[in-house]
Amino acid sequence: QFPFGRRLPCDIYWHGVSFHDNNIFSGQVNKFPGMMETVRKITLSRAMRTMQDLFPLEYDFYPRSWILPEELSLFVSEVHTMKDSNPSWKPTFIVKPDGGCQGDGIYLIKDPSDIRLTGSIQSRPAVVQEYICKPLLVDKLKFDIRLYVLLKSLEPLEIYIAKDGLSRFCTEPYQEPTLKNLHQVFMHLTNYSLNIHSGNFIHSDSVNTGSKRTFSSILCRLSSKGADVKKLWSDIISLVIKTIIALTPELKVYYQSDIPAGKPGPTCFQILGFDILLMKSLKPMLLEVNANPSMRIEHEQELSPGVFENVPSPVDEEVKVAVIRDTLRLVDPQKKKRKDTHVTVPPKQQRLGVQEPPGLWEVSPWQGVDEMSSKVPPKPTPSVILCCRCPSSKQAPEASEELPDAPKSPEASLPSLCLKQVFPKYAKQFSYLRLVDRVAALFIRFLGVKGTTKLGPTGFRTFIRNCKLSNSNFSMAAVDILYIDITRRWNSMGIDKESGMCLQAFVEAFFCLAQKRYKSLPLREQVSSLLEVCECRLAALQGKRLLWGCG
């Protein structure tokens, strides 16, 4: 640990909260630039809404959401319209502060008029969502799932999902929301940090009982009752991949700003916490994504009034230790070096019982979590290295020099990886969803100034000219008006005071251009058609520039 900073370059940098070190020029960092901002409730809701506009059926796993205070009037009018069209509809809504965590500031309402319109809503924006009133119950209790997802790479996109997670239970039997029980947080909110203060919270040494259990124990229980856990697991994998696809455009903008292409810099990876709620029908619903999921493997126990002691939590230890350990194994900086040396184990060592580590844990989304197989031949991987300086290859002993009675390598005794690759493994099934990714590539191309996240008016005009999108019906004066209107509105909504057009504003402008050009098509086809035009014309322009360069 380096509480006062470091002097020597490292292989792996493990930051506590966010990517904040501008002096890293190599190695790997466990945080992506901008991840905390990207998964905030408002930013996540906007990203999911964009995807729902393009792919409504594919993104029906995220509750309908409105952003406060800017969409308060829209929220009120839409709710009243829906109630008028369906008088039997009696919804419940949940209000979540944008920057809140651990259940802080969350409350339930039955009507838009119940929103707390004190000064806090202006200074502390929030998201209001439809509350899922019919969750799956276990032992009459509501629960959610915390799954750990490793985003190992952004370009190319590489995603892993842990084979097990945590199930976090409420501590009061669930009842559908009424005006009388809306305030009962131990009944409706699954946050561990809230329920641990309940007198009914149960700390258990078993992973199958108590107020916090393993997700695999829930799957086993569901399977024993005839539930299709293979389909459930497949749906969860799909939810995770689609959510990451929705987040990557914003992340790429932050990434190019902090780590510009062509300059020395680290690569990044990050462990994310996905909070998922199962409906009674076993349909998984995304609640939120946590950029800094807790990795504590102990909890506080009150020995006497005011006197606490940290005691181990077997459930946390079983799940989280494996996630951390196998993340380090996957990003091991020595792995490629070891492969390049082609070190082989001598026959004598094989006779002495030196084992190769097990292969990658693989499971089809149509298999249960217990149906595991190693489909690829096992490959030797080195022990985890987390160091200040890369050791010289001269210092590493040759495998053939190992003594006959030498102990097995630490890697050989480790279990198979608990992290399963789901992308690019299933890329063919989901690549068609990456339309906004392509829009973001256009945005980044015309940013011009390295290290910025906002597109200026000159960059926007250059984009229009190079893609030949202006004509007699859409003049450059109209282009300027479009830029000013959209940019001014988006800048008034955000806390970032930097002038210029942010990515979300550019996406809105691009959608507007697509709708003007292809009026008779659905939005998805409009956007896809305009992307093809832009990419084709930019490729032709690039080809001409290459020819001019050769001339």
Q: DSSP states of 449-485 as a string? A: STT---B-HHHHHHHHHHTT--BTTB-HHHHHHHHHH
What's residue 130's pLDDT? Answer: 94
pLDDT, mean of residues 302-308: 76
User: For domain 432-548, which architecture applies?
Assistant: Orthogonal Bundle (1.10)
pTM of the model: 0.84
What's residue 148's pLDDT? Answer: 98
Measure Cα distances from 408 to 300, 331, 351 in Å.
37, 22, 12
pLDDT, mean of residues 73-94: 90
DSSP letter for 262, please: T
Q: How far apart, in whole angstroms, are the C-alpha atoms of residue 116 and residue 93?
A: 13
Give the domain ranges of the chain.
Answer: 12-63+132-300+312-335, 432-548
For 149-201, how does the pLDDT look when each residue is reduced to its tens digit (9 = 90+)?
A: 999 999 999 999 999 999 999 999 999 999 999 999 999 999 998 988 888 99
Range of lowest pLDDT (113-127, 214-228, 259-273, 370-384) = 370-384
pLDDT at 355 > cutoff 90:
no
More confident residue, 478 or 376: 478
Query: What number does CATH give the domain 12-63+132-300+312-335?
Result: 3.30.470.20
| Exposure b/e, 1-33, CB count within 10 A at least 16 = b | eeeeeeeeebbbbeeeebbeeeebeebbbbbbb
For residues 33 and 255, the answer to whether their CB atoms sit within 8 Å is: yes
Q: How far apart, in whole angstroms, are the C-alpha atoms of residue 447 and residue 358?
A: 46
Q: Which residue type occupies 177? A: P
For 274-301, how does the pLDDT look when each residue is reduced to its tens digit (9 = 90+)?
A: 999 999 999 999 999 999 999 999 887 7
Beta strands per DSSP E along 208-251: 212-214
Percent of the chain with pLDDT over 70: 80
